[in-house]
Homo-oligomer: A and B are copies of this chain.
Amino acid sequence: MIDIFAELENKARWAKGASHRLAFISTEIKNKALHNISHDLIKRSAEILTANSQDYKEAQASGMNGAMLDRLMLNEARIDSMANDVLAVAGLQDPVGEMMDNRTMPNGLTIGKKRVPLGVIGAVYESRPNVTIDISVLCLKSGNAVILRGGKETIRSNKTLVKVVQEAAYRAGIPEGAVQFIDNSEHALVERMLKLKQYIDLIIPRGGAALIKFVAETANMPVVTGGIGVCHTYVDKSADIQKAVAIVYNAKVQRPTVCNALDSVIVHKDIAAEYLPLMGEELNKGGVEMHCDERAISLLNKNKKLKLKPAVDEDWGKEFLELIAAVKVVDSLDDALAHIDKYGSGHSEAIITENYTSGMRFLNEVDAACVYLNASTRFTDGGQFGLGAEVGISTQKFHARGPLGLRELTTYKWIIMGNGQTRP
């Protein structure tokens, strides 16, 4: 234990040292590093897929469920997509050095904020190996060193991916030590990592609710929590029914295993009789099981093909991460807002309506990171929002909310320039 703790602390210290130099590395070198990484991901894809297939077989043999296996799995297409995301980040503006809120005070002092990296980012995550690339690349571009701790079920994939990143980045001139990987899956190491406040400026946990809770309660440095998405779509009485059917289908079926997928549909009673049978028919094509309240079930159960169950209390506020949707009929927009206020996780919430005032009220009154009018919650994503890849989705209000991109990995300092000013 003592040896692996010492090794962890060495890695953290090394990252901190590298972060001081990385803060001054030019955008040119950082972009060169990202181009190298993108290139090497493709070039070394066989090596990556070999490691991944070992992880996959082991996970499969251990009885991992389908949703988890899907998250873990890489293929050529997913590697291509990762490599493209890296290039997209290279193309984004470097936030470091940006000057903001510049002003000259009456006494002649010039005051402004300058954007600077946070320092060292720690990432604790599960399953999805693309997180290794996303987080490394966003940290490097934003001038931060990074310490990665992935799940043990993808340790071979992550180890290979990190090797690709390190070699490609250091070749471009990124200070050695800026990318660290904890390649020992001993659980006590995470706990120790979360106490290294003197070396790690921010922790980003990505994974299930248990992981995030553990990290938030254990870490002695700031943590960006999020990633748990209990997402509602409210179909208002003035909804365009075709749009509502298409959006709900997309939000539930397009990729059910991720946090921005739909969990509950709330339908206004005045439109329920017309809307629900069409929605049921469509969701059924996607293989969705519906957990319905009484009113919803009475409008759906004429169609014997549908997979229906009476909703139980635990269905409200549940993140399903599979092809299940809770369905509820409400009397009013106010009831929908109250339901979301009670059961939402502050991630992504949507209203489908053609009524201007209902739409504006929903956008204003729902307290969540992302609030949608007439669109699928599946868009909550750094790439889809134009931020490039994301390090996570924050559901807290502090520092940053929603997809965390480059700018969200920086802080600023005030720069004050004078010619001898003293305070009267």
Contact = CB atoms under 8 A, between A and B. Distances in A.
A187 to B, nearest CB: 23
Given A364-B24, A414-B370, A109 B402 contact: no
Which one of A367, A375, A384, A386 has the greatest number of beta carbons of chain B within 10 Å? A375
A375 B420 contact: yes
Identical copies in the complex? 2
A64 interface: no
Interface stretch (A39-47, A80-88, A239-247, A284-292): A239-247
Main secondary structure of the interface of A (DSSP, over half): mixed
A402 B242 CA distance: 51
Given A109-B375, A246-B422, A250-B422, A414 B401 contact: yes
B397 A401 contact: no
B419 A386 contact: no
A414 B240 contact: no
A398 to B, nearest CB: 4
Contact of A417 (B374, B401, B403, B417): B374
Contact of A420 (B109, B246, B415, B419): B246
* Chain A interface size, under 10 / 10 to 19 / 20 to 34 / 35 or more: 35 or more
A403 B416 CA distance: 13
A310 interface: no
Contacts of A384: 105, 423
Interface of A: 24, 103, 105, 109, 111, 116, 118-119, 201-202, 222, 240, 242-243, 246-247, 249-251, 254, 363-364, 367-376, 378-380, 384-386, 396-399, 401-403, 411-423
Given A222-B398, A369-B414, A372-B418, 4 more contacts: A103-B386, A374-B417, A375-B418, A401-B411
28 contacts: A24-B364, A103-B386, A105-B385, A105-B386, A109-B375, A116-B367, A118-B397, A118-B398, A201-B397, A202-B397, A222-B222, A240-B420, A254-B422, A363-B417, A370-B413, A371-B413, A371-B414, A373-B417, A374-B417, A374-B421, A375-B417, A375-B420, A378-B423, A379-B416, A379-B423, A398-B411, A401-B413, A401-B414
